[in-house]
Structure 1
Amino acid sequence: MSAGNLPWEGGCRCGQVRVKVTAPPLLTMACHCTGCQRMTASAFSLSVAIPSEGFAVTRGEPVIGGLHGATRHYFCPHCMSWMFTRPEGMDWFVNLRATMLDDASWFTPFIETWTSEGLPWAATPAVHSYAALPALEDYDGLLREYAEQALKPKG
């Protein structure tokens, strides 16, 4: 599997919930916020932003977990793996946890967010780094730059 070799499939740790991705990613990211640290029991969460029309749950019924707020975090009801997030007011994409993919070996975060809350030793190779979130007006340029970078042949 590679960033350009679709479709991708993935699932939770126990396999009861499976997903399929049929659209190229919009962006890859690492989030260092304390909420992601606590939900992953790690230094950050890794996400692939997928257009909503290119994302499907193909088996199982994920449940809402996390804070149970307007932004919905979906988990496997059995193994409790945090699988994906549907951010409030942004129904056009889904943030899939990159490590839910059957093969995430191609994944590298393009941006990292909430570095102001990050653990001092946690570093990523992200091209862009933000103390909080990028300004709303920066996203068009980031999406365009990521698409151009993702299409470049490796090597």
Structure 2
Amino acid sequence: MSMSSSEPFIQEGGCRCGAVRLRITARPLLTMACHCTGCQKMSSSAYSLSAAIPSEAFEVTQGEPVIGGLHGAPKHYFCGHCMTWMFTRPDGIDFFVNLRPTMLDDPSWFVPYMETWTSEKLAWATTPAERSFAALPPDDAYGEMIAGYAATWAAPDRLPANTQS
């Protein structure tokens, strides 16, 4: 059965050890890969992945995440036991939470729509992102990108296999 982009999107996940669990109940506003050197260090990888989840659709269901990283702005949340970087809450921006999508039990649906800080990326690091920025996108670009990303959910091959009603 083909699923429509208007059907409920419910996903659960957690840190590596399982002490902290979370749930999202809406599709992301936007998905991204960040190539900045800070994300490279925090993720121990070539880039970090993020899904901007509407704040009202994000909840920690078990455990208590702790603030890690630089302990400043933005606030990066980790499991206090296994130290998995789980999500970020940007200071002064309350309408979304940047979830590391690999925290979800099934992140197979995730594809980064945009990539940022390509000016700092490792030369071999590539993503399938449709939009690319040397640093951060201009503030006036987000509305168009959110609409462009939402349109990708109309394609049947982009819908998650375990979307629940």
Q: What is the TM-score of this pair, normalised by structure 1?
A: 0.95
Deviations 1:31-55 (A, max 9, x none): 0000000001000001111000000
Aligned to 2:57: 54
Aligned-pair identity (%): 65
- Distance in 2 separating the partners of 1:6 and 1:17: 21
Aligned to 2:127: 124
Deviations 1:79-109 (A, max 9, x none): 0000000011111000000110101111110
Aligned to 1:10: 13
- Distance in 1 separating the partners of 2:141 and 2:154: 20
Aligned to 1:92: 95
**Structure 1: gaps (5+ residues):** none
- Distance in 2 separating the partners of 1:35 and 1:97: 15
**Structure 2: gaps (5+ residues):** 159-165
Matches within 5 A, 1:2-41: 6-41=9-44
- Distance in 1 separating the partners of 2:128 and 2:16: 26
Aligned to 2:152: 149
1:62 deviation in Å?
0.1
Which of 71, 75, 78 matches 1:72? 75
Deviations 1:55-76 (A, max 9, x none): 0000000000011112100000
User: What SS does the aligned partner of 2:39 have?
Assistant: helix
- Distance in 2 separating the partners of 1:42 and 1:97: 13
RMSD: 1.6
